[in-house]
């Protein structure tokens, strides 16, 4: 039994068997770097698509907020408000028509829909009356579209101001 133990120990610690405990070899490190690069090559295009979708969703959220906020202001103030979306500048402008005024006046300045280069499909105006009804003197009565890098979302506004995004 003692002889077997001595043979085993001499095999593990003999002159031909040297243990290296100094870290990873260059080949192992290069292999790990290659695997990481391959995974990154798959992830980068996906991240670009996610960023584009995020920017489009941000523009849609801004436009739907403008519609809902304008409707709320008309209900609370008791006189007509309108929101004007301008295709050429990709902005919206909220306007009001106080009692006794002859024409709509700007409330603040025009606001960009997005910091990114989005595109509106048309000029659109939504007019909100104090009773909650909606009309569209400019553009389609109930919808408009926002496009960013080939992706489009359509915003639909019902005749009583409900907003749906498709």
Tell me: the pLDDT tens digits for 107-133?
Answer: 999 999 999 999 999 999 999 999 989
- Longest distance between any two alpha carbons in the chain, whole Å: 113
Domain topology for 41-165: minor pseudopilin epsh fold (3.55.40)
Residue 160 has a pLDDT of 87
Domains of the chain, residue spans: 41-165
Residue 48 has a pLDDT of 85
Q: What is the pTM of this model?
A: 0.75
Burial per residue of 29-54, b for 16 or more beta-carbon CB atoms within 10 angstroms, e otherwise = eeeeeeeeeeeeeeeeeeeeeeeeee
Please state the rounded mean pLDDT for residues 68-93: 96
- 127 near 135, Cβ under 8 Å? yes
């Amino acid at each position: 039994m003692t002889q077997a133990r001595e043979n085993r120990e001499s095999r593990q610690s003999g002159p031909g068997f040297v243990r290296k405990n100094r870290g990873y070899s260059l080949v192992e490190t290069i292999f790990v770097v290659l695997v990481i690069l391959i995974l990154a090559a798959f992830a980068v295009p996906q991240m670009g698509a996610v960023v584009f979708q995020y920017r489009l969703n941000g523009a849609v959220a801004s436009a739907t907020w403008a519609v809902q906020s304008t409707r709320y202001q008309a209900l609370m103030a008791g006189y007509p408000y309108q929101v004007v979306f301008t295709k050429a500048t990709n902005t919206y402008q909220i306007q009001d028509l106080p009692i006794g005024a002859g024409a709509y006046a700007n409330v603040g300045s025009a606001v960009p829909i997005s910091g990114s280069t989005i595109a509106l499909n048309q000029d659109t105006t939504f007019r909100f009356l104090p009773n909650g009804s909606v009309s569209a003197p400019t553009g389609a009565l109930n919808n408009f579209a926002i496009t960013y890098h080939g992706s489009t979302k359509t915003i639909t506004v019902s005749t009583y101001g409900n907003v749906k995004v498709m």
